[in-house]
Amino acid sequence: MQQALENLEPKSIWKHFDRIAAIPRASTKEAAVRQYVLDEAARLGLKATQDAVGNVVVSKPARPGRESATPALLQGHLDMVCEKNEGTAFNFDTDGIRILRKGDWLTADGTTLGADNGVGVATGLAVMESNSINHGPLEFVFTIDEETGLTGASEFPAGVLKSKYFFNLDGEEKGTLCIGCAGGLITKARRAVKLQTPAAKAAFRIKISGLRGGHSGVDIHLGRANAIRILGATLQAVLAELPAEVADLKGGSAQNAIPREAFAVIALDADHTARLNQILSRCQSEQRTDIGAFDPEITIAAEKTDLPTKVMAAHDSRSVADALACLPHGVLAMSPDVPGLVQNSTNLAIITLTDGVIEIVTSQRSAIESSKLSAANLVATACRLAGFETEHSGSYSGWKPEPNSEIVRQMQEVHNKLYGKPAELVIMHAGLECGTIGEKYPGMQMVSLGPQIENPHSPNERCQISSVEPFYQYLCAVLEAI
């Protein structure tokens, strides 16, 4: 066990989290962690099945005397968002997460921690192997590829599950019960650009860094800066004042993460170095003034790099910079019905230049289907005005809140007994698998819960150690009460 996890409670959760953290599990690459789950089920003598896309379902009989209890489902996703800081030596396809303990928090060494949803999966495995929880009939679902579009949930078959209650273990705020979430989709834009030999004899790499990033759903309202948009504005300033030629663009790495870093390679003669640095310093100062405390550590700087063999034509460089600087990002509308809830949003997530083709990836979210489509059309229209072709994909449904459901009532009764007050009911502006799986099982009652996890989808992700044991105790108490 990694030193950071030694002597933590509950031991069963941290044991499994330690083993899961050692297994590379990027989205669509969950084979090894899926096999770990199957091996655990086999070790425990439990029935396990795997569907066509790789989701795993495990069944566990009720404890003696609890056979007539309401069947319940515990669900988590096997994949994790793979984000790392530039300069961090780490390969998500081969390396295990290096976990650090900082006071009451667990984090990782320059990468995402994978507590989203590794703690939820570890919790499901802990319940699976427990002989002390007096539970009724249980089912466990471990889905694949949640982070890039809820693929596992979307492809999950109907008619497999027998449970009436659905406990999603992907919650990230202690003391809350999530009872609804937004739906979403991905909008991609592509445009071919003309490449030519650079006129300049030197090159620089412009870097936007120091941003907080975060989850494009639950953090979108926090005002955090978008590195790709800032890169666009920076390139606008550089191209307006210097004979620079843009050779490469890169920013963001996940459609559901606010981009923290972005880069551009420009060809520019070395005698313009001082002026380039002046422009970048001015851009940095302006951005810090504009963003303020939302993202105070933003840095815009350049360093010399190898001269590229090809650069974009001037008109393409300006057009792409203009598009990046003005594409919508962030909150589009707040809910008129739920105070403080984001209703519609969009995330400018990824920019790449490959073989003369610019690709931009964005994601839109809303609990209202028509609003989700309207947000996607807004982004697509802006892209088309800049000469891009667009397409939509990966649409998934929202989850309608049912605050008066039977399972919410029972969970509140347990929460009152344990803590002397009800849990806070919340609705997330993020995608959860409850809605996608639940729509195939009419009548299934759903709740999402979890410990305190902050800054998911970024290398600043952290999990509060002291919140995990109460979360587990509460879940066990609920399983015994239903």
Q: Catalytic: which of 18, 30, 40, 79? A: 79
Do 378 and 402 fall into the same domain?
no
Do 155 and 50 fall into the same domain?
yes
Give the pLDDT of residue 167.
98
Q: Tens digit of pLDDT for each residue in 417-475?
A: 999 999 999 999 988 999 899 989 999 999 999 999 999 988 999 999 999 999 999 99
Do 243 and 365 fall into the same domain?
yes
Q: Which of 393, 212, 403, 246 is nearest to 323 (CA)?
A: 246
Give the pLDDT of residue 119.
98
Task: Write down which residue in 368, 396, 424 finishes a domain.
Answer: 396
Give the pLDDT of residue 39.
98
Distance CA 314, CA 248 (A): 13
CB 183 within 8 A of CB 396: yes
The tokens of 207 are what? 């870097």
In sign, the C-alpha dihedral spanning 445, 450, 454, 458 is negative
Q: Which of 144, 111, 184, 208 is nearest to 347 (CA)?
A: 184
Alpha carbon 344 to chain centroid distance? 17
Do 98 and 141 fall into the same domain?
yes
Q: pTM of the entire structure?
A: 0.83
Give the pLDDT of residue 396.
87
Q: Catalytic: which of 116, 139, 146, 433? A: 146
Do 227 and 152 fall into the same domain?
no
Alpha carbon 304 to chain centroid distance? 33
Do 208 and 220 fall into the same domain?
yes
Q: Which of 91, 120, 119, 123 is nearest to 105 (CA)?
A: 119
Do 343 and 436 fall into the same domain?
no
Domain that holds residue 101: 3-182+398-481
Which residues, 6 or more positions from 213, have their beta carbon under 8 angstroms from its beta carbon? 83, 224, 227, 257, 258, 259, 260, 455, 457, 458, 460
Q: What CATH number is given to the structural domain containing 82?
A: 3.40.630.10
Distance CA 198, CA 192 (A): 18
Do 383 and 408 fall into the same domain?
no
CB atoms within 10 A of CB 370: 8
Task: Write down which residue in 379, 396, 413 finishes a domain.
Answer: 396
Distance CA 259, CA 171 (A): 22
Do 301 and 274 fall into the same domain?
yes
Active site includes 316? no
Distance CA 104, CA 191 (A): 47
Domain count, the chain: 2
The tokens of 307 are what? 């001269």
DSSP state string for 143-192 = ES--TTT-HHHHTPPTT----SEEEE----STTEEEEEE-EEEEEEEEEE
Do 348 and 429 fall into the same domain?
no
Q: What contacts 24+ positions apart, CB below 8 Å, involve 219-224?
A: 219/258, 219/455, 220/258, 220/330, 220/331, 220/342, 220/345, 220/347, 220/365, 220/429, 221/331, 221/342, 221/345, 221/429, 222/294, 223/291, 223/294, 223/295, 223/330, 224/258, 224/294, 224/295
CB atoms within 10 A of CB 421: 10
Task: Write down which residue in 396, 425, 446 finishes a domain.
Answer: 396
Active site includes 245? no
Do 384 and 427 fall into the same domain?
no
Q: Strand, helix or coil at 74? A: strand
Q: What CATH number is given to the structural domain containing 189?
A: 3.30.70.360
Q: Which of 82, 56, 97, 115 is nearest to 471 (CA)?
A: 115
pLDDT tens by residue, the chain, 482 residues: 999 999 999 999 999 999 999 999 999 999 999 999 999 999 999 999 999 999 999 999 999 999 999 999 999 999 999 999 988 999 999 999 999 999 999 999 999 999 999 999 999 999 999 999 999 999 999 999 999 879 999 999 999 999 999 999 999 999 999 999 999 999 999 999 999 999 999 999 999 999 999 999 989 999 999 999 999 999 999 999 999 999 999 999 889 899 999 999 999 999 999 999 999 999 999 999 999 999 999 999 999 999 999 999 999 999 999 999 999 999 999 999 888 899 999 999 999 999 999 999 999 999 899 999 999 999 999 999 999 999 999 898 888 889 999 999 999 999 999 999 999 999 999 889 998 999 899 999 999 999 999 999 889 999 999 999 999 999 999 999 99
Do 224 and 141 fall into the same domain?
no
